[in-house]
Amino acid sequence: MKNLFHLGNLSVQEIMCILDQAKEFKQGMVYEELKGKKIANLFFEPSTRTQYSFIVAEENLGILPTNFNVESSSVKKGESLYDTVKTFEMIGYDGIVIRHPATNYYKELENINIPIISGGDGIGNHPTQSLLDLMTISEEFKKFEGLKIAFIGDIMHSRVAHTNIHIMRRLGMEVFTSGPFELDDFSSDYIDYETAIETMDILMFLRVQYERHGVDVTFSKEKYHESYGLTEERVKKMKPNAIIMHPAPYNRGVELSDYSVECEKSRIMKQMQNGVYIRMAVLKRAFEKE
Ligand code: CP
């Protein structure tokens, strides 16, 4: 049984193994060892891509998925996360997928004896998103070493950026941040936005997470788009082989223009597709012996 909460305790070799397996699933590999297993998907925060691509991945593997409904559950009577997850273990579930607004929520789940895969914890980590980002980059460039990537936007509130910055550095990529200083976490070298457009191999835009800012939002959408949005004019200044990424959902007209979402340089749709194969590989790994 192997949990997945972040990528910090996975070796580079283990990460490459997950990417390779995901690519094999994409090429049609059939794997029937998990047929009939029961997985509960517990999403305590809204999700479209992660939640539903886990369901597709589970169904592709013959797993029986259950979607937990927080609103009609005993969470509403005050039941804790631990007691909720322990209940799923006791009534016969084989594994759990969890997205939760609390950063490091998994630290209270040490006494759970079925595999847990995180679909994102607060502003902490989003391991399967990072893996599907790596898969997309690997398919594009066939390497990581030496690639230049800039994260642009709400880095402070982005679990995707936090996971990616750490693992991409370990893989030998040159990592920069750009966008408004107020949203940077200063974990990487800052690069001026217009310079980033012209020099990066990968521009990864991040959604301005208005829901995590409370009332303290200082940017109008129009002003943000003018200063840090990816307009058609800016796309045309990118290097010939450079690509655009975004974990989605995106704020159209804020960090991305309508044009840039599906333009020739965008790999955003491919990221979504790869999410299914990465989650199949991660589910397979979850039931492997330590
Ligand atoms: N990228 C991502 O996590 O999207 P969802 O919030 O829709 O799952």
Q: Helices 127-141 and 12-26: crossing angle, nearest 10°?
A: 70
Residue 227's SS3 state is: helix
Claim to verify: residue 180 and residue 232 sit in the same structural domain: yes
Are residues 41 and 64 located together in one domain of the fold?
yes
> Is residue 275 within 6 Å of ligand 1 at its C-beta?
no
Q: Are residues 228 and 160 in the same domain?
A: yes
Which of 54, 129, 255, 271 to probe ligand 1 with, by most ligand atoms within 8 A of CB? 129
Question: pLDDT tens digits for 22-37?
Answer: 999 999 999 999 999 9
Is ipTM strictly over 0.95? yes
Residues 172 and 225 occupy one common structural domain: yes
Token pair listed for 166: 């750490």
**Pair 83, 111 in one domain:** yes
Q: Is the four-CA dihedral 188, 189, 195, 199 of positive or negative sign?
A: negative
Distance 156 CA to ligand 1 centre (A): 17
Do 73 and 174 belong to one domain?
A: no
- Same domain for 43 and 145, yes or no, is no
CA of 195 from ligand 1 middle (Å) equals 29
Domain assignment present for residue 27? The answer is yes
The best mutation among 47, 159, 251, 279 to test binding of ligand 1, ranked by most ligand atoms within 8 Å of the C-beta, falls on 47
50 lines ligand 1 (CB under 6 A): yes
For residues 147 and 160, what is the distance between their CA atoms, to the nearest angstrom? 18
Could you tell me if residue 5 is inside a domain? no
User: How far is residue 117 from each of residues 50, 99, 161, 229, 247, measured CA to CA in Å?
Assistant: 11, 9, 19, 33, 18
Provide the pLDDT for residue 212: 65
Residues 103 and 137 in one domain: no
- The answer to whether the CB of 158 is under 6 A from ligand 1 is no
- Please check whether residues 220 and 109 belong to one and the same domain: no
The verdict on residue 26 lying in a domain is yes
Domains: count for the chain:
2
Cα–Cα dist 283/277, whole Å: 10
Within the chain, which residues score under 70 in pLDDT?
211-218
Residue with CA closest to ligand 1 atom 6: 47
The annotation status of 99 as a binding-site residue, yes or no, is yes
- 133, 98 contact by CB (below 8 A): no
Same domain membership, residue 238 and residue 143 = yes
Structure tokens, 147: 């690639």
Query: How many angstroms separate the CA atoms of 96 and 42, rounded?
Result: 7
Q: Which of 42, 43, 49 to mutate to test the pocket of ligand 1 (most atoms within 8 A of CB)?
A: 49
Q: How far is CA 241 from the centre of its chain?
A: 23
Q: Is residue 152 part of a domain?
A: yes
Answer whether residue 6 is part of any domain.
no
Please list the residues that pair with 43 across neighbouring strands: 99
Judgement on whether residues 114 and 152 belong to the same structural domain of the protein: no
249 lines ligand 1 (CB under 6 A): yes
> Token digits for 250?
């995106």
Residue 205 inside a domain? The answer is yes
Is residue 4 a part of any domain in this protein? no
Same domain for 147 and 70: no
Q: Tens digit of pLDDT for each residue in 50-60?
A: 999 999 999 99
Largest CA distance in the chain: 57
- 26 labelled ligand-binding: no
> Is 252 marked as binding a ligand?
no
Rg (alpha carbons) of the chain, rounded to whole number: 19
207 is in an annotated binding site: yes
Here the CATH number for the domain that contains residue 91 is 3.40.50.1370
Q: Which residues contact 48 (CB under 8 A, 6 or more apart)?
A: 249
Ligand 1 nearest-atom number relative to CA 48: 7
**pLDDT for the residue numbered 215:** 47
The answer to whether the CB of 128 is under 6 A from ligand 1 is: no
Residue 3 lies in a domain: no
**Domain of residue 64, residue span:** 12-125+273-286
The SS3 call for residue 204 is strand
Name the nearest CA neighbour of 152 among 168, 140, 143, 165: 165
For residue 230, give the DSSP letter.
Answer: B
